[in-house]
Structure 1
Amino acid sequence: MSIIELGEIRDEPQSLPPARPPRAAGRPLRSVAVLLLALVTLAGATPVVRRAVTSVPTAPGASAYLTEDGIVVVDASTPTGDRYLSVYDQPGPTGGDVVRRRWRAPLDRSGDFVTVWFQRGMVLAVGVNVASGVLETTAFDAEMGQRRWRHPGIAQRATDGGMLLANDTEDGLGTVSRVEPDTGRLLWSVPVPFGGTGFHRQDGQVDQVVFVQPTGEVQVYDADTGDLLHSVDTLPGDRSAFQRVQVVDDLVLLVPPGSTELVAFRLPAMQRAWTSPASLVAWAVPCADLLCTVQQTGGIQTIDPATGAVRWSDPGPDTLVDVRRDRLLVAASEQRYAVRDARTGRGRAELGRWQLVDQVRREDELLGVRPTPDGRLVVAELDLTAGRTRILDVLPGVVGGCQAASPVLLCRRLDGSTALWRLPR
């Protein structure tokens, strides 16, 4: 920038014009040079924002699972050759080129695994037994990798640090069992009907197990001792029929056969609480201070959990996807999401088209991803309270299959490899 020198202002005779100062030869060029030098200096002083990304070793066909305590990789099923389950430490805040492997343990060559997580100093892996087709839980020591035990069923965390295994089979020979977590020793077992089991949780741990028998008898068992606590007959006369059961907070919900009503009993004494008009109920979940029921056809209906009175109802086609405090995330066709008020059902915001990311922790904010035509993946936070989305990053060369444990995101790349990204918050 050129500097124009005005000189000193004086009172001069009108007949004599003020003397014009001489032009500063070369000053504009020197000023531009100084400006360019300043810009270059500032650019060099400004740190370059580098995405913290870490590769996770995954062979073709392998499955990676993000947990709070590490990353677990399960090799693909193969008729020949070795197969392993490997555990890797999560990288630090600055990332790194490759994660450090903690240990790996041999697996059966065949069989699909559906989920893996850490619990009570163990890695619990749920997979399909190839011979029987039954889901099994295998426990490994979280520090050293030795296999501790394997039992039919899916592990459920019980009170007092115990563990339940729910083995729900279509042939009607299922069981719910309690095992000693460290050794897998069987403590007790109860036969259960297919599709007729519910769990009451206290602080996220199962303390009561509810069964509905084909005869209509609803039984409540203590999850610690296996003792029968209460029993109620819900079908009059000598009848036998399939009934679905679900436990939501202290309510046991039943849909009687051929009925358009939802019947609620209240734990622990199984006292009949109310009957509410509700047809084709698929499942129910607490929403704000109400009970949201979702129909098999996708509609939503909210009920007062104290009285069974219907607060509002929408026959669809939107279906409930998630609940955060007093906001509902609903999905329409083509993966388009919207936000509704839980107490009134009124629409609050349109969030657009996204694919939801699997969350390791329930309390983390919802994330959505969306591919771009040039092979990148847009990652956004879906804020239901504010009713808006916030773009966190646009990742190159990522195909999807993402899992999140804030602020870490695990995704599959276009070349088949897997990597971790640390998202800005």
Structure 2
Amino acid sequence: MIELGDPALTPVPAARRPGGIRKPLAAVTLGLLALLGGAVPHPRPPAVTVVAARLGESTFVERDRLHIVSGTGYQASGPRERTVSTYSLPGGRLLFRSTVALSGTVYQVTSSGRTLLVSYQVGTVGTEETTAAVMAGTRQELWRVPALLLTVSPDGASALLLHRAGNLPGDVTWLGLTLGTGQRRWSLTQPVAGYTTAAAYTGGFPRRLVTVTVDGHIEVHDTVTGRAVATADVPAPVEWSRRGVTAWPAGDLVLVGGAGGVTAYALSDLALRWTGALDLAGRWIQPDCAGAVCLIGYRAGIQVVDPVDGAPRWSSERWTSAVPVGPVLLVTGGGGMEARYPLAVVDPATGTLLADFGHWRVVSDVRPDVLVCRRTDASVAIWPL
């Protein structure tokens, strides 16, 4: 509301000159426009794109594509052809439909160039898994191997897979394949008395595999060629032979140890960096923790140490997960008896709370420009952000 004054008290000019009232009216008009500017409707957000899907169909989101797989349940009669519809993100435009023979629950669907890859469980029990590759938009099968697809190299040349013949360490074999042909480049079986882990991630693809045995032998292999790029024999505590040994990547380090402490080695040449009395029992190490080394446990909380010398930085029982977002950490926690699951941002160097988002939860990685949700009628909605 604008107060224009009492008309009875406003002097009336003796004679109107042409245009004499235009300036006051113009000023009032500008004032009204300025005050009403906040009431002007903002442009509506882009309309949601809805992609048709049915109950029983599964969705898989990757980078700039959405995959919908028809009929993903187990069929007792064996493999049958299923359709994989691939849509663009964020536009939701149908790119192609591919046909692939599957016999069990689908674990993963990914694409690289004109190659579509589907990993699925064979049967309803056990750990037998298979990956099939087809020419995208066709039913032409390129290759099929009894292994689970882990990831594809950024250049689309190599695929890293895992074959599990059972539940024991010696039943696990890592495979490197040429993506276009399925030709095996190399294979590495995890030692029965040892542990193998992926490290040095670039664009979601690990460039190294690290294997450590309970007798102190460490090997680092290139995941593209399979060639050993570094080897070392290190002191092996007695606890390793009794309770096992693990290896965890952390930036340019690999941390080797168990309940009796941890030793950090340079991933490039396995040079000794530091040794610390850190207990890995019931904990895991975040591979990338915004320049820090983060040990995390559901009950023990988070413990952060300096990657240079292993010196403790800070710890908190409140946080039970940490994800790097630029120079800071996005953390969540269990909240103890309060049953709270806060979402917050902390400084990785000091643990200082920078922002608290309350009860919001992170459910998965989502692209920064699109939100993909399954609706109650089974269709898939795509919202540009």
Over aligned residues, Cα RMSD in angstroms? 3.4
Superposed, which structure 2 residues align to 1:332-371 within 5 Å?
A: 332-333=333-334, 334-359=340-365
Describe the superposition over 1:323-356 as per-residue Cα deviations: whole angstroms up to 9, x where unpaired: 2133222222343212211111122222011232
Q: Does 1:114 align with 2:107?
A: yes
Q: Does 1:419 align with 2:365?
A: no
Could you say which residue in structure 1 is the equivalent of 2:58? 63
Could you say which residue in structure 1 is the equivalent of 2:328? 327
Choose from 11, 14, 17 the match for 1:9.
Answer: 14
8 Å contact from structure 2 (residues 215, 236) kept in 1: yes
Describe the superposition over 1:58-115 as per-residue Cα deviations: whole angstroms up to 9, x where unpaired: 221211112234220122315379652422332676x7xxx4361131332x422222
Could you say which residue in structure 2 is the equivalent of 1:176? 174
In structure 2, relative to structure 1, the CA distance for the partners of 1:92 and 1:129 (3 Å cut) is closer
Count of residue correspondences: 339
Q: What TM-score does the superposition give when structure 1 sets the normalisation length? A: 0.69
* Aligned partner of residue 273 in structure 1, secondary structure: strand
Could you say which residue in structure 2 is the equivalent of 1:53? 48
Q: Does 1:292 align with 2:301?
A: no
Q: Does 1:137 align with 2:131?
A: yes
Q: 1:294: how far off?
A: 1.2
In structure 2, relative to structure 1, the CA distance for the partners of 1:220 and 1:46 (3 Å cut) is closer
In structure 2, relative to structure 1, the CA distance for the partners of 1:324 and 1:237 (3 Å cut) is closer
Superposed, which structure 2 residues align to 1:150-169 within 5 Å?
A: 150-151=144-145, 152-158=147-153, 161-168=157-164, 169=166
Describe the superposition over 1:170-209 as per-residue Cα deviations: whole angstroms up to 9, x where unpaired: 2322111221110101122121147822223263343332
Find the aligned partners of 1:92 and 1:354 in 2 and give their Cα distance. 24
Find the aligned partners of 2:343 and 2:85 in 1 and give their Cα distance. 35
Find the aligned partners of 2:11 and 2:140 in 1 and give their Cα distance. 86
In structure 2, relative to structure 1, the CA distance for the partners of 1:91 and 1:323 (3 Å cut) is closer
Find the aligned partners of 2:255 and 2:90 in 1 and give their Cα distance. 45
Find the aligned partners of 2:89 and 2:256 in 1 and give their Cα distance. 46
Q: Does 1:410 align with 2:385?
A: no
Q: Does 1:243 align with 2:245?
A: yes
8 Å contact from structure 2 (residues 64, 89) kept in 1: no
Q: Does 1:273 align with 2:279?
A: no
Superposed, which structure 2 residues align to 1:188-203 within 5 Å?
A: 188-193=186-191, 196-201=195-200, 203=202
Could you say which residue in structure 1 is the equivalent of 2:20? none
> What amino acid is the match of 2:332?
A
8 Å contact from structure 1 (residues 164, 177) kept in 2: yes
Q: 1:134: how far off?
A: 2.6
Could you say which residue in structure 2 is the equivalent of 1:318? 319
Ranges in structure 1 where 5+ consecutive residues have no aligned partner: 11-41, 360-403
In structure 2, relative to structure 1, the CA distance for the partners of 1:158 and 1:219 (3 Å cut) is farther
Q: 1:128: how far off?
A: 1.7
In structure 2, relative to structure 1, the CA distance for the partners of 1:237 and 1:422 (3 Å cut) is closer
> What amino acid is the match of 1:124?
L
Find the aligned partners of 2:323 and 2:308 in 1 and give their Cα distance. 22
Describe the superposition over 1:142-180 as per-residue Cα deviations: whole angstroms up to 9, x where unpaired: 354533222213333458732222335523221112211
Find the aligned partners of 2:344 and 2:42 in 1 and give their Cα distance. 38
In structure 2, relative to structure 1, the CA distance for the partners of 1:121 and 1:243 (3 Å cut) is farther
In structure 2, relative to structure 1, the CA distance for the partners of 1:135 and 1:249 (3 Å cut) is farther
Q: 1:302: how far off?
A: 1.3
Find the aligned partners of 1:237 and 1:318 in 2 and give their Cα distance. 32
Find the aligned partners of 1:212 and 1:92 in 2 and give their Cα distance. 43
* Aligned partner of residue 52 in structure 1, secondary structure: coil
8 Å contact from structure 2 (residues 344, 356) kept in 1: yes
Q: Which has the larger radius of gyration?
A: 1
- When structure 1 is superposed on structure 2, of 325-334 and 45-54 the one drifting more is 45-54
In structure 2, relative to structure 1, the CA distance for the partners of 1:349 and 1:227 (3 Å cut) is closer
Could you say which residue in structure 2 is the equivalent of 1:232? 233
8 Å contact from structure 1 (residues 137, 155) kept in 2: no
Find the aligned partners of 1:187 and 1:88 in 2 and give their Cα distance. 29
Q: Does 1:104 align with 2:98?
A: yes
8 Å contact from structure 1 (residues 327, 340) kept in 2: yes
Q: Does 1:146 align with 2:143?
A: no
Could you say which residue in structure 2 is the equivalent of 1:124? 117
Find the aligned partners of 2:190 and 2:48 in 1 and give their Cα distance. 47
Q: 1:264: how far off?
A: 1.0
8 Å contact from structure 1 (residues 282, 296) kept in 2: no
Find the aligned partners of 2:347 and 2:271 in 1 and give their Cα distance. 31
Describe the superposition over 1:221-251 as per-residue Cα deviations: whole angstroms up to 9, x where unpaired: 2333323341424426897352111122221
> What amino acid is the match of 1:89?
Y
Find the aligned partners of 1:79 and 1:313 in 2 and give their Cα distance. 49
> What amino acid is the match of 2:220?
V
Q: 1:210: how far off?
A: 1.0
In structure 2, relative to structure 1, the CA distance for the partners of 1:310 and 1:221 (3 Å cut) is same
Q: 1:7: how far off?
A: 4.4
- When structure 1 is superposed on structure 2, of 284-293 and 184-193 the one drifting more is 284-293
Find the aligned partners of 1:302 and 1:208 in 2 and give their Cα distance. 24
Q: 1:418: how far off?
A: 1.9
Ranges in structure 2 where 5+ consecutive residues have no aligned partner: 16-36, 335-339
Find the aligned partners of 1:342 and 1:47 in 2 and give their Cα distance. 39
In structure 2, relative to structure 1, the CA distance for the partners of 1:140 and 1:354 (3 Å cut) is farther
